[in-house]
Structure 1
Amino acid sequence: MQNDTPSMTTHVPLEVSPVERLPACGHFDDPLVSLSFLNNQGVYYLQKADFKKSIGSFQHALQLLGQRFDPVRIAALGCQDDSCSDPACDSKTCDCGVSRDSYIYQRREYDEGMHHFGEPIQMDMETLSSISSNDEAAIVVFYNIGQLCLLRHKDEEATECFARALYLARSCTRDSPVSPVAILHNIGYIQYRNIELEKALSTFRDALQAFRPTSHKLDYAATLNCLGVLYFHLPKADTNSAMENYSNALSIRRQFYGNEHKDVGTTLNNIGRVHYIKGEYDLALVHYLEALRIRRSLLGKNHLDVAATLYNAGQTFHQKGDLSKALKYYKEFMRITVPKLGQNHRDVAIMLKCMAQIYHEQREYEKALTLYGEALSVGRAALGMHAEVASTLNKMGNLFYERGDFDAALEKYQEGLSVERAVLHSLHPNITVTLTNIGQIHKQRGEYSAALKLYKEALDIQVKSLGETHPSVAVTLSNMGLIHYQNKSYSKSLDIYQEALRIRRDAFGEDHLDVASSLNSIGLVLFKLGLHQMAMQSFLESLRIRRSLLGDAHRDVAIILYNIATIHLERGDEEEAMKCYKETLRVERAALGPDHSDVVLTLQYTAQVHRQRGELEEALDCYNEVLRIQRKNSTESADAAIARTLNNIANVYLQQGSAKQVVSTMSEATRIMKQTGENPDELRLTGFHKYGFAVLFPENAAAA
C-alpha cells in the first residue's frame, strides 16, 4: 500500500501566501521559477476564492508561456457575479432535472464521487521536474484555469481550457505533468452535470482506456465509480453495468482504505441506489445503512452526505411499507438540511412532499394537506414554475379525489397541468397522467364528452411519443372504452377494447394480467350486446389467466366468477349460477375478509337466486348475514342500505306467509328511511332486484 504511486494531482492546500515562500528576487531570471510563482499564486488565490487575483496570475503565466486566451472572456472569470443564481446548482442552466427517485443528486451538495480530480495543481519540485517545454507548463496552467471556471459555473470556458490541456498532454513525448485521466475526468464531469450523459459516458470510457499499469489504482477506482453513476443515470438505467463498475470500485477502495473511508461510504450508497431501482429493497437497505454508519462516523451527524443517505434509506423504508421508519429518516434529513440549505430549498420541498405522502397513505388527510401545502410554497419559492411543483399539485389533487372533493381535485390538477405545459416538453408523459386524472373526474361526474376529449388528447401524446403499440396506449384506450360502455355506446366500446387487447397481447403475450383485464372488459360489452356465449368465452379466458397468475384467493378472480354467474342467471341456469356465487364468496372472504362490501354484494345476489328457486330459509340466512355486515360497518345509526336489506327480508317473510314478521321488519325499515330523510315509498313488498355485473372502476387517480 505504501509503494503505490501517488496521484499526480494530490496536493496539500497552502497555508501561507506563496509570496512568503519565494526565493530571492535575483532568482526570478529563471523563467521557470517565474512561471511556478505565477501558477502557485493563482492556485493560492483560487483556494481563497479571490477569483480576480487568481485569474490575473494565471493570465500572466499564459503570457509568459506565449499562450493566448480570449482576454475578454478571461477577464470575465474574475467578475464577482456567478452565471448561476442558484448556489445549490452545479449546472449552468439551473435545470438539473429529476434523476429517477434520487432527485437530490446531480448537484454539488451531495457526493456521488463524480468530481474526483477537483483540485488545482501547484508547480512543486516534482511537477517542475516533469516539465521540459512551454507546452508542458501550459498544461498545468490551462488545467488550473479550468478548475477556476468550474467554480465560476463557466462550463463552456472550463471545457475549452481542459480540451487545450488535453491536446497538449497527448502531444507530450513523455509523461505529462497533468495526467490525461485527470483532464478527461473534469471534461466528463462537466458533461455529466449538464445532463449530457452519453457524452460523459464516452469521456469516462476514454479515461479508463488512458490508464497505464503504473497508474494510481485509487484513481482507477474513482473512474469505475463515475462510470457506474453514469450507467445509473441514463434515461434507461443500465443497472447491470452500474453494479459491475460500483462493485469493482468498492473492492479496490476497500483493499486500500479498509472499510472506514468516505469513498467507501460513497460507493456503498451508490450500490444501494442500484438495488433500490431494481426493487431489491432489503439489499438496498443493507448498503444504505452501512454507508450511513461510515458517513456519520467520518463526517459527523450533520453532514449533507449523511442527509443524502438518510433520504435514500427513508425512501426504501417507504417503499417497503414501513412508514414509521421512513418518517423518522425523513425528519432527520430535514433536521440536517434546513439549517444548511435554508427553508426555501428544492430538497426541503421534496422532503416535505415525501412526508406528506406518508400521512396521505395513512389517510391522515389534514396532516398530509398541511405538508403538501408547505411543499408547494417552498417549491414555488425555490423553483418557480417547475415539474416538481406540478408533481406536488397533482398529489394534492389525488388526495382531494380520494376524499370525493372533485372540485378541489380538479383545481389542483388543472394548476399542475398549467405548470407542466409551461416547463415540460409537449409530449412529456407527466402531461398525459394529469390529463387522465382530469378526465377521471369528468367521468365520475358523468361528463362523458369532456372526459373523452381529455383521454383523446392524452392518447395523441402517447402515440406521438411512444408509438401506436406501446402498453400505455392500451391503458388510455381502456379508459376511453369504459366511457363508451358507461355511455351505452357498446359497439364503440367493443372496438376500442379489442384494440387495447391486441396491443397488450403483442406486448405481453397471452398470459398477462393486463390481457385478462381487457378480456373481462370485452366480456362485459359482449353481454350488453346480447352475445352471451362469446361473453362467456371471454370471461373464462380471463379467469384462466388470473387464476394462473394470482391464485385462487384474489379479488380479481372473484370478480370474474361473479360475472360468469351473471351470465348463467341470464340463461336461466340457476344451478351453475349458484355454484359460481358460492365460489365467489369463498374467494372474497379469503382475499378481503368476511365483512367486506364485495361480500355483501355477492350475498345479496346469492339470496336472490335462493328466492327465485324457492329456497327461502337459505335466502333469509344470506340477507341476515348482509344485515349483520352492514350494521357492523355502518357509522350511522340510520342507514338507507340497512333499510333496503330489511325490505328484502320482509319480502322473504311475505313469500313464507309470515305476516307478523313482515309487519315488524317493514316498520323498522320505514322508520330508518324516514330518519335518513329518504322517501319510504321506495320500499316495496314485491319483485326482485335486477342482477348486474362487477366492474372494476379505478379507486384512485394516477400519481404524476
Structure 2
Amino acid sequence: MADCSSNPFDGMSDFERQLQELFNKIRTMIMKGDKSDAIDLLQANYEAVKEQMNAGSKGIEEAAILDIIALGYILIGDLKFVRSLLSTMNGVVDIQKDDEPLLGSILMHMGSMYSTLGNFEKSMLAYQRVILISESKYGRDSTFLIKPLLGMAKSLGSIGRATKALDIYQQVINIIESSGGAKSEDLVVPLFGLGNLLMRERKAADAEGPFTRILKIYTKLYGEKDGRVGLAMCSLARVKFAKGNTDEAIDLYKNALQIIKDSSYMDLDDGVMENMRIELAELLHVVGRWKEGQQLLEECLLITEKFKGKDHPSLATHYQNLATSYSRLKNFAMAEHLLRASMDVISKAEGPDHPSITFPMLHLAVTLYNLKRDEEAEQLALEALHIREKAFGKDSLPVGEALDCLVSIQSRRGKHSAKLLELLKRVLKIQEREFGYESKEVMVTLKKVVFYLNKLGRKDEKFPLQRRLSTLRKKYKHIVQY
C-alpha cells in the first residue's frame, strides 16, 4: 500500500495508479486460484490502513484504499467482511467534502456493493450523493449522471418503486439521446433496464418498444447476422410470448439461436445460449410441439456432455428437464431412466444426502406412482422428506412439498386416514405461513383436510374448516375444482 500520509494530494495520479495496480494484482491472484495469497495481501493492506485511521488519518486516501480492499473481498465472495468494511467506509466518506478527488468513484463502488448485499436503501443513498455531486459540477443533463442514475434506477426497481425507477430510466435515455442521438449504442443499457422492469411489472405491451429499439440499434450498427442482434431478438421473443404471440416468439427464438451460432458470438456451451435453448424448449412444450422441445433439451444434454464431461453436475438439471418432457407425454419409463441418471450425477458430485438430490427424487417418486409402483414411490418420498427435514427444518416449504407428495402415495397404499390427516395438517400449517391464509395452495390442502375429517367422522373439526373452504372457493371461482 502506498504511503500517502505526507503531501497527500501531490501526485494523486500516482496514488490512483498504485490503487489500480493493487486491485489488478489481487484480481490476478484470484483468477489464478491463489485465493489465500490474495486474502493475505488484502489483510495486510487492511491492517495498514486501520493503523493510519487509528492514528487519526481519515481522508480520501484511506477511503480509497478501503474501497479497493472491499472490492477485493467482493471478488473472493466474503460478503460478511464487505459489510464491515462498508460500515467503516461510511464513517470516512461522510466527513469528506464533495469536491474531493476519487469520492465519486468510491461512492459508485459503495452503491454497487450495497446492491450486491441487497441493502438497496444504502445503495440509493450512495448513488444519490454521486448524482448531487455530478449535477453541481456538470449540470442536470450531463452524461456524468448516467452511471449513478442507472444504479439508482436498478435499486429502486429492486425495492418495488417501479414508477420512480421508470422515470429515471427515461431520464437517462433523454440524456443519451441529447448527447449521442436516438441511435446511439449507449442507449442499449437503459433501454434493457427499462424493458426488463416493465416485464417484471407485467407491462409486456410497453416493454416491446424498448426491446424493439435495441434490436434496431444493433442491426443498424452491426448488421443482421451479428450475435448481439441474436441476443436482442431473444429479449424481444420473451415479450412476444408474454403478450400471447407464441408463433412470433418461437420464430424469434429460433432465429436468435441460429444467428448466435453462425456468428460464433458465444460458445455453444455458454450459459446464456443454454438458457435460450431451454426457454424455447419450454415454449414449444406449451404449444404442444413436444418433439421439437425434446430435441432442444437433448441438444442441451449432448452439448454439456461434450464440453464438460459425462459426470458434470449440471447434467442433472438437463436430465430432469428431459424427464419432465417425457412425463408430460406419459412416457414414465423414459422419465424414470432420466431421473435415476440425474440422481446418480448429484450423488457422485454432492453425496447421496445432499438436498439437491431431493428434486429428482420426488419427481421419481411421482413417476413410480404413475407406474403403479407405490411401495418404491413411498420409500423415495420418505427419503426425500428426511433429507429435507434435516437440511431445511421440519416446518419449511420444501418439507411441505415432500409431505404433500407422500400423502398422495400413502393414500393409495391404504394408510390409516388419521395418519394422513396429521401429515396434511403439517402441510396446511406450512402453506399458511408461507403463502397466506387465503392462498390457492391453502384452499387445495383444506379440501383434502376436510375430506379426511369427514371420513373419520370428526364433524366438530370439519364444519369450521368447511366454511373457510367455501369462502375460499368463492374467491377462486375460476380455479378447476379438485
The normalised TM-score by structure 1 is: 0.53
Deviations 1:157-192 (CA, angstroms, capped at 9, x unpaired): xxxxxxxxxxxxxxxxxxxxxxxx89x98xx9xxx9
Counterpart CA distance in 1 for 2:300 and 2:246 is: 20
Of the three residues 465, 480, 488, the one matched with 2:330 is 488
Q: Does 1:337 align with 2:171?
A: no
Counterpart CA distance in 1 for 2:111 and 2:238 is: 30
Aligned residue for 1:414? 254
State whether residues 378 and 409 of structure 2, in contact with CA within 8 Å, keep that contact through their aligned partners in structure 1. Answer: yes
* More displaced 10-residue stretch of structure 1: 506-515 or 570-579: 506-515
Deviations 1:553-577 (CA, angstroms, capped at 9, x unpaired): 6554333222111112111123322
Of the three residues 149, 156, 163, the one matched with 1:324 is 163
Of the three residues 472, 475, 478, the one matched with 1:629 is 472
Counterpart CA distance in 2 for 1:511 and 1:336 is: 54
State whether residues 274 and 284 of structure 1, in contact with CA within 8 Å, keep that contact through their aligned partners in structure 2. Answer: yes
Aligned residue for 1:538? 380
Flag the 1:273–1:618 CA change in 2: closer, same or farther, 3 A. Answer: closer
Deviations 1:425-471 (CA, angstroms, capped at 9, x unpaired): 33322111111111112323444332221111112222344444444
The 5 A counterparts of 1:159-178 are none
Q: Alpha-carbon deviation of 1:476? A: 1.4
Deviations 1:346-398 (CA, angstroms, capped at 9, x unpaired): 23122122112222112122222233333333343345455554444333333
Aligned residue for 2:237? 397
Counterpart CA distance in 2 for 1:536 and 1:373 is: 51
SS for the counterpart of 1:495 is: helix
Of the three residues 420, 440, 444, the one matched with 1:597 is 440
Counterpart CA distance in 2 for 1:617 and 1:2 is: 83
Aligned residue for 2:54? none
Q: Does 1:352 align with 2:194?
A: no
Aligned residue for 1:363? 202
Q: Does 1:585 align with 2:428?
A: yes
Counterpart CA distance in 2 for 1:265 and 1:353 is: 25
The 5 A counterparts of 1:207-218 are none
State whether residues 198 and 204 of structure 2, in contact with CA within 8 Å, keep that contact through their aligned partners in structure 1. Answer: yes
Of the three residues 264, 270, 274, the one matched with 1:432 is 274
State whether residues 188 and 214 of structure 2, in contact with CA within 8 Å, keep that contact through their aligned partners in structure 1. Answer: yes
Does 1 or 2 have the higher relative contact order (CA < 8 Å, sep 6+)? Answer: 1
SS for the counterpart of 1:530 is: coil
Q: Alpha-carbon deviation of 1:265? A: 0.7
Q: In structure 1, what residue type is equivalent to 2:364?
A: I
Q: Does 1:575 align with 2:415?
A: no
Q: Alpha-carbon deviation of 1:263? A: 1.9
Q: Alpha-carbon deviation of 1:307? A: 1.1
Flag the 1:298–1:449 CA change in 2: closer, same or farther, 3 A. Answer: same
Q: Does 1:503 align with 2:345?
A: yes
Q: In structure 2, what residue type is equivalent to 1:397?
A: A
Q: In structure 1, what residue type is equivalent to 2:273?
A: I
SS for the counterpart of 1:350 is: helix
Aligned residue for 1:477? 319
Counterpart CA distance in 2 for 1:515 and 1:615 is: 38
SS for the counterpart of 2:326 is: helix
Counterpart CA distance in 2 for 1:223 and 1:599 is: 53
Aligned residue for 1:444? 286
Aligned residue for 1:272? 111
Q: In structure 2, what residue type is equivalent to 1:522?
A: L
Counterpart CA distance in 2 for 1:349 and 1:355 is: 10
Q: Does 1:307 align with 2:150?
A: no
Counterpart CA distance in 2 for 1:640 and 1:259 is: 58
Counterpart CA distance in 2 for 1:491 and 1:585 is: 32
Flag the 1:589–1:224 CA change in 2: closer, same or farther, 3 A. Answer: closer
Counterpart CA distance in 1 for 2:133 and 2:369 is: 63
Flag the 1:243–1:618 CA change in 2: closer, same or farther, 3 A. Answer: closer
The 5 A counterparts of 1:546-565 are 546-548=388-390, 550=392, 555-565=397-407
Q: Alpha-carbon deviation of 1:240? A: 6.3
Aligned residue for 1:32? none
Counterpart CA distance in 2 for 1:550 and 1:585 is: 17
Counterpart CA distance in 1 for 2:64 and 2:305 is: 40
Flag the 1:239–1:502 CA change in 2: closer, same or farther, 3 A. Answer: same
State whether residues 205 and 243 of structure 2, in contact with CA within 8 Å, keep that contact through their aligned partners in structure 1. Answer: no
Q: Alpha-carbon deviation of 1:497? A: 1.5
Aligned residue for 1:659? none
Q: Does 1:376 align with 2:215?
A: yes
Counterpart CA distance in 2 for 1:511 and 1:492 is: 24
Deviations 1:76-117 (CA, angstroms, capped at 9, x unpaired): xxxxxxxxxxxxxxxxxxxxxxxxxxxxxxxxxxxxx9xx78
Q: Alpha-carbon deviation of 1:308? A: 0.6
State whether residues 70 and 82 of structure 2, in contact with CA within 8 Å, keep that contact through their aligned partners in structure 1. Answer: no
Counterpart CA distance in 2 for 1:388 and 1:489 is: 39
Q: Alpha-carbon deviation of 1:221? A: 9.4
State whether residues 498 and 522 of structure 1, in contact with CA within 8 Å, keep that contact through their aligned partners in structure 2. Answer: yes
Deviations 1:43-100 (CA, angstroms, capped at 9, x unpaired): xxxxxxxxxxxxxxxxxxxxxxxxxxxxxxxxxxxxxxxxxxxxxxxxxxxxxxxxxx
Flag the 1:602–1:227 CA change in 2: closer, same or farther, 3 A. Answer: closer
Aligned residue for 2:48? none
The 5 A counterparts of 1:71-82 are none
Counterpart CA distance in 1 for 2:94 and 2:197 is: 41
SS for the counterpart of 1:459 is: helix
Q: In structure 1, what residue type is equivalent to 2:254?
A: Q
Flag the 1:283–1:255 CA change in 2: closer, same or farther, 3 A. Answer: closer
Counterpart CA distance in 1 for 2:419 and 2:70 is: 59
Aligned residue for 1:288? 127
Note the residue ranges of structure 1 that are not aligned, 5 or more in a row. Answer: 11-112, 118-180, 200-204, 209-217, 646-688, 690-704
Flag the 1:441–1:278 CA change in 2: closer, same or farther, 3 A. Answer: same
Flag the 1:471–1:435 CA change in 2: closer, same or farther, 3 A. Answer: same
Q: In structure 2, what residue type is equivalent to 1:327?
A: L
The normalised TM-score by structure 2 is: 0.73
Q: Sequence identity, in percent?
A: 17
State whether residues 64 and 106 of structure 2, in contact with CA within 8 Å, keep that contact through their aligned partners in structure 1. Answer: no
What CA RMSD, in Å, does the superposition of the two structures yield over aligned residues? 4.6
Q: In structure 2, what residue type is equivalent to 1:542?
A: A
Flag the 1:529–1:304 CA change in 2: closer, same or farther, 3 A. Answer: same
Deviations 1:216-237 (CA, angstroms, capped at 9, x unpaired): xx9x9999799889979xxx94
Q: In structure 2, what residue type is equivalent to 1:561?
A: L
Note the residue ranges of structure 2 that are not aligned, 5 or more in a row. Answer: 33-37, 42-58
The 5 A counterparts of 1:666-685 are none
Flag the 1:262–1:591 CA change in 2: closer, same or farther, 3 A. Answer: same
State whether residues 304 and 336 of structure 1, in contact with CA within 8 Å, keep that contact through their aligned partners in structure 2. Answer: yes
Of the three residues 433, 438, 463, the one matched with 2:305 is 463
Q: In structure 1, what residue type is equivalent to 2:256?
A: G
Q: Does 1:522 align with 2:353?
A: no
State whether residues 110 and 123 of structure 2, in contact with CA within 8 Å, keep that contact through their aligned partners in structure 1. Answer: yes
Flag the 1:529–1:271 CA change in 2: closer, same or farther, 3 A. Answer: same
Q: Alpha-carbon deviation of 1:297? A: 3.0
Flag the 1:321–1:389 CA change in 2: closer, same or farther, 3 A. Answer: farther
State whether residues 67 and 106 of structure 2, in contact with CA within 8 Å, keep that contact through their aligned partners in structure 1. Answer: no
State whether residues 343 and 378 of structure 1, in contact with CA within 8 Å, keep that contact through their aligned partners in structure 2. Answer: no
Counterpart CA distance in 1 for 2:338 and 2:239 is: 30
Q: Matched residue pairs, number?
A: 439
Aligned residue for 1:96? none
The 5 A counterparts of 1:21-420 are 237-238=75-76, 259-277=98-116, 279=118, 281-282=120-121, 284-384=123-223, 385-402=225-242, 405-420=245-260
Flag the 1:556–1:395 CA change in 2: closer, same or farther, 3 A. Answer: farther
